[in-house]
Structure 1
């Protein structure tokens, strides 16, 4: 009888130890799972943050590389167009709806590689004042936004006038000759000069003043 009590006591003790060990094991497992979840969550957050930063940087880089060109004159859809790095004038002309029937193909270079901020005026075949030898420099002019100095068309010398878009030697002489008899009272008066119409005025209006 005494032996049975001892055996039962030993069995109960063993069962108690097993229960305690099982409880500790389960608690430890839950703790490990929680730590793993926290680590996984932290890694996911870092990956998500890195992905967002990469997307932001990609978007900033794309915005930084955007190039824009203004095309007008004998073109079907004049305006400002975004271009790729490898764009040629021919590509821009296609984007702008093609040339009009009055465009002078002999005075433009469709293979010309384009640069940011260019202003392009497609010449009219009937415009006899164009200097064919200087056509590229006259009709394609980058706009320098960092230079706030404007040209006073009443006082500028010939060389200064020739820094304006589409103003070659012949047109510069015409401006000087005109103002010797008629002072420019407003910038629009420059359209009274022979060879300077609305399209050429639009190209230079932001670069000229009268004093």
Structure 2
């Protein structure tokens, strides 16, 4: 039991090392040697826990998705209305503060680029995106039901919100210094509130 736990902890350390190197230098320059140096491990130990850099990347996609979902669940724990839960989701994805992981934003953008190039990465990336869409649709559906509005366009609204967030990640990574501070969560909230208000009443 202890050995399994130690192995899992070491794997997470390696994955977070990839995250750090990749966020700063990109995936191509995130060599096994650079990952090992960041993790404070011998390169041989990296290969002991993972067959390849690609396998570490696949683990990272799932880990980031899990961390994002966990942050949402923590922030939504005190939410009492559908609107509060939706706001908690938006803040969990876009707001700074406790539980935020700035390096993860840059790493996620790099992962999106690798998903275009690598079928294996694309598969796990699409799985993570599908899970996000499902959650957003559920949150929006609950809000629209409470507001007694039609839900026939909920899929499009969910896709629009997710696209906004992914675009905000791209801008934060590539042009963060020139974007207004704290704009993303506020703008996403206003966008989706206005979009829901535009839906016809039941």
TM-score, length basis structure 2: 0.27
Q: Which of structures 1 and 2 has the bigger CA Rg?
A: 1
* Structure that is richer in helix per residue: 2
TM-score, length basis structure 1: 0.26
- Determine which structure has greater relative contact order: mean sequence separation of CA pairs < 8 Å that are 6+ residues apart, divided by chain length: 2
